[in-house]
Amino acid sequence: MISQEIGIVKCFARYIFMTRSGDMGTNQEWQEEQQRVERVVDQIGKQIDTLQQYAGEIKAEVVDIRKNFWDDVTVNFDDAHEAAETYASMKQQAEVLSERERSHRHAKERLTTLGRLLQSPYFGRIDFAEAGEKTERIYLGIASLLDEDEEDFLIYDWRAPISSLYYDYPPGPAQYEAPGGTITGMMELKRQYVIRNSCIRSMFDTGITIGDELLQEVLGKQANTQMKSIVATIQKEQNRIIRNERSRLLIVQGAAGSGKTSAALQRVAYLLYRYRETLQAEQIVLFSPNPMFNSYVSTVLPELGEKNMQQTTFQEYLERRLGKSFHLEDTFAQMEYALSAMDELGYAARIEGIRYKAGSGFMEAIERYVSVLGKEGMIFKDIKFRGEVLFSAEYIKEQFYALDSTLRISNRIKLLADKLLEELKERARLEQMKPWVEDEIELLDKEAYLEAYKNLKKKNRYTENTFDDFERERKLLAKMVVQKYFKPLQKRVKQHRFLDMLAMYRQLFTNPQYITRFTLHDELPERWTDICIQTIERLERSELAYEDATPYLYLQEQLEGFQANTLVRHVFIDEAQDYSPFQFAFIKRLFPRSKVTALGDLNQSIYVHASINDGLSALSSLYEEGESEAFVLTRSYRSTRQIVEFTRGLIDGGEEIEPFNRDGDKPTVTQASDMTELIRSVADRIRILQAAGHQTIAVICKTAKESQDAYKALSASIPLRLIGKETSSYETGVLIIPSYLAKGVEFDAVIIYNASKTQYGRESERKLFYTACTRAMHELHIHFVEEMSPFIYRVPSETYSVVGKSSN
């Protein structure tokens, strides 16, 4: 029996049972609950045994079908009829095999889930009396479980309609939406459990919120290098986001640490459950801020028994579409420039350019440009063959403008490509007569001749008349030779490579006046001429700056038509504040059949292009009224109360952020008189944090450059790991990381390496500083050299402790 195997006898250790009034509950009640756990675990054990046996049998069947696949298929290709029968019988056999394989996979998945339930079958209970009915006890876990007779639920999936009562109401009148309508009733009890190895470790009867006690326990733990699921403690405001089904666009603006990413991931799990008949994990895409974040969140869904959705970054998408044609700058390289090249010539123009090129003004200018191109100004490339022009750019242009101008440009380009392909066929025929083809034929090897022979034979074209046969063979070989050379040409035409995209994008910058035909009055940035010069210089070097990548692709897609993905049904955009209006418009067009959930925090918009965003309104303006809904999360769960009280002082409107009541030490601020002292004080701090048992300690630097310097200075005395943009995961220990790569992740303790005025003094650096500080769960220590960042001056001084010399 399974319960004995895992040692339930051990359960009579110390336990905590708190009733709503805060009293200790009775031993008898606890024992009854423990006995229920044992009964349920016993049942899970039985189901595991049965399922294991079943899985074993199916596996044997699968092996057997694979081994004897051909025995059950009658193979006969004698005539068409027999061949069709053979095919049908093979198909049937393959279907049986794939059905068995599917059943085996499902059984295995269910076994994994049952294994998880065995450890911790449920985390909550509600006693609910539907109006006029008797009270039912509902136990909630990560998956549902039926009793032996398959009649009653021993555990309800946390995503079942009735389970939402647990997240939405305190004991008292309550209601939930069931498929048949709203169900109202009375919740008589709400209880939470911590069950480990089938033993109840603690049990709380809770009131309004889902037990602060349990949250305290969960949040007080050490940070993990992988995010955890929060199903046992989802808060009401998060539940509304998780279960929202109405809106095409769901916008979540939430404070740092308010559970945006967590809500997004539980929402994915919810949707996969709710639409399990029609929705697959592959039809959900999450855009995340960096590759490390991908690995950070990758375990949440498997922990909940679901497959991971697709994960990508916008950068990855751009690389896939543009990577080969250019040297494409990445978003982090641009960030590094923005943060560290202030003294370089042309800096101000580039920053203005980044802002302008990300905005809706430029996007509209491109749209107007495209409609003018529909009438004039398209630029094409010659199509050449063996150094000779087959179709000149001028000819292609004429053909293009000869097409019906009421058609969309993208359709005209497709028609043009078809026409060119037709003409190419004719050219290929003419080419076959040319002397170079004769020369090539002579150089052909035996295989080519053999192929020509077989080909003619197959077509019954051999006449046994030597002269005719020779002539036919020569023609065929000529065709083969020409075909070999024309294939790449055809491919290029099919890919519309006759369009000179680069020249058309470049045209917008060649003369600073040119764009004014497409812009509204006074819209251009002050340094537009410099921006044009810089852009042209880079394009001439075949470099595409990050700020040019999306507009370039936008122009391309406007001309050639969007490559839409209609399979994807849900897109999640995390750190949505960092996307430009351009990028939002893009994502919407790319996934035309998809609902979008965008999660962001305006106080963490750290990219230059993002600062022009007027909230997430650029995104909502893409949707009709009534199609979108917005939620605000103000409670911060990640950090201790003391850390939140400090960090919220760094930003405007911070007073609206509510800390979760978990205590810790106040953040510290330490001044050093020079770099040597700074390094020493940071090293001392790391040692103290290690001694205190913290698992993940992050030294956050402003840039990659500063991170490298810090690494050089500290790594001699302390083992640590340097995180760069290519890092895709991290382990526990001490790490050094640039601020912008720490986005979305969290650490037990954070040390800000150098919060001096020179590093974090400009208004544009405030949000970066805030983002870095809010990564801390339990401890935050700020070090600086010389003069302290002015952002700290505005924070009430009682929220932090000054260590060593005071800078105030």
Burial 569-585 (b: 16+ CB within 10 A, else e): bbbbbbbbbbbbbbbbb
Q: Does 256 bind ligand ATP (CB under 6 A)?
A: yes
Tell me the window of 97-105, 194-202, 232-240, 360-368 that interacts with ligand ATP (CB under 6 A). Answer: 232-240
By CB under 6 A, how many residues form the interface with ligand ATP?
24
CA dist list (Å): 760 to 99, 211, 343, 655, 666:
60, 39, 16, 22, 21
CA dihedral 38, 43, 47, 50 (to 10 degrees): 100
The DSSP call for residue 210 is S
Residue nearest ligand ATP, CB atom distance: 259
CA gap 715, 548 in Å, rounded? 38
The residue (of 293 and 391) whose beta carbon lies closer to ligand ATP is: 293
d(CA 552, CA 505): 6
Task: Quote the distance between the C-alpha of residue 408 and its chain's center.
Answer: 33
* All residues at 6 or more sequence positions from 688 whose CB lies less than 8 Å from its CB, including other chains: none
178 labeled binding residue: no
Structure tokens at 400: 């293009």
Residue 235 interacts with ligand ATP (CB under 6 A)?
yes
Q: Say whether residue 206 binds ligand ATP (CB under 6 A).
A: no
The nearer residue to ligand ATP, 156 or 637, going by C-beta atoms, is 637
Q: Say whether residue 257 binds ligand ATP (CB under 6 A).
A: yes
d(CA 200, CA 30): 8
Closer by beta carbon to ligand ATP, 222 or else 490: 222
In the complex with ligand ATP, the residue whose CB is nearer, 420 or 599, is 599
Q: Does 215 bind ligand ATP (CB under 6 A)?
A: yes
- Give the Å distances, CA to CA, from 656 to 254, 255, 507: 11, 9, 48
Smaller CB separation from ligand ATP, 350 or 767: 767
- Give the nearer residue to ligand ATP in terms of CB position, either 263 or 622: 263
DSSP output for 124-166: EEEEEEETTS--EEEEEESS-EE-TTS-SEEEEETTSGGGHHH
The answer to whether residue 659 forms part of the interface with ligand ATP (CB under 6 A) is no
Smallest distance from ligand ATP to CB 213, Å = 12
Contact call for residue 259 and ligand ATP (CB under 6 A): yes
- Contact window for ligand ATP (CB under 6 A) among 215-223, 485-493, 531-539, 671-679: 215-223
Give the one residue of 3, 261, 432, 583 binding ligand ATP; rule: CB under 6 A: 261
Residue 591 contacts by C-beta under 8 Å, 6 or more apart in sequence? 285, 564, 565, 566, 568, 571
Give the DSSP H or E segment for 372.
Answer: helix 360-373
Closest approach of ligand ATP to the CB of residue 293, in Å: 9
772 is in an annotated binding site: no
Q: Is 88 annotated as a binding residue?
A: no
Q: Is 258 annotated as a binding residue?
A: yes
Measured from the CB of residue 256, what is the shortest distance to ligand ATP in angstroms? 4
Q: Which is nearer to ligand ATP, 569 or 638 (CB)?
A: 638
Binding mask 551-580 for ligand ATP (x = CB under 6 A): ------------------------------
Residue 624 burial class via C-beta count within 10 angstroms: exposed 0-12, middle 13-18, buried 19 and up: exposed
Q: First-to-last CA distance in the chain?
A: 68
CA torsion, ordered 74, 77, 81, 84, to nearest 10 deg? 60
Q: For ligand ATP, which is the closer residue by CB, 256 or 622?
A: 256
* Alpha-carbon gap, residue 770 to 55, rounded angstroms: 52
Per CB under 6 A, 218 contacts ligand ATP: yes
Closest CB to ligand ATP among residues 432, 774:
774
Site for ligand ATP in 594-653 (CB under 6 A): 601, 604, 637-638
Of the candidate residues 244, 258, 603, 613, the single one contacting ligand ATP (CB under 6 A):
258
Q: According to the binding rule CB under 6 A, does residue 334 interact with ligand ATP?
A: no
The two tokens of residue 141 are: 């876990």
Maximum distance among all Cα pairs of the chain, rounded to whole angstroms? 108
402 is in an annotated binding site: no
Which parts of 740-779 interact with ligand ATP (CB under 6 A)?
Answer: 744, 746, 774
Of 39-47, 86-94, 158-166, 233-241: span binding ligand ATP (CB under 6 A): 233-241
The single-letter code of the amino acid at 329 is E
Q: Decide if 456 contacts 462 (C-beta within 8 A).
A: yes
**Does 228 contact ligand ATP by CB under 6 A?**
yes
> Is there a binding annotation on residue 452?
no
Give the binding range for ligand ATP (CB under 6 A) out of 93-101, 136-144, 257-265, 615-623.
257-265
Task: Give yes or no for residue 240 binding ligand ATP (CB under 6 A).
Answer: no
Angstrom distance (rounded) from CA 627 to CA 308: 27
Counting every residue, how long is the chain? 808
Near ligand ATP by CB under 6 A: residue from 254, 305, 649, 654 = 254
- Binding site as annotated, residues for ATP: 254-261
Question: Residue numbers of the site for ligand ATP (CB under 6 A)?
Answer: 215, 218-219, 228, 230, 233-235, 238, 254, 256-262, 601, 604, 637-638, 744, 746, 774
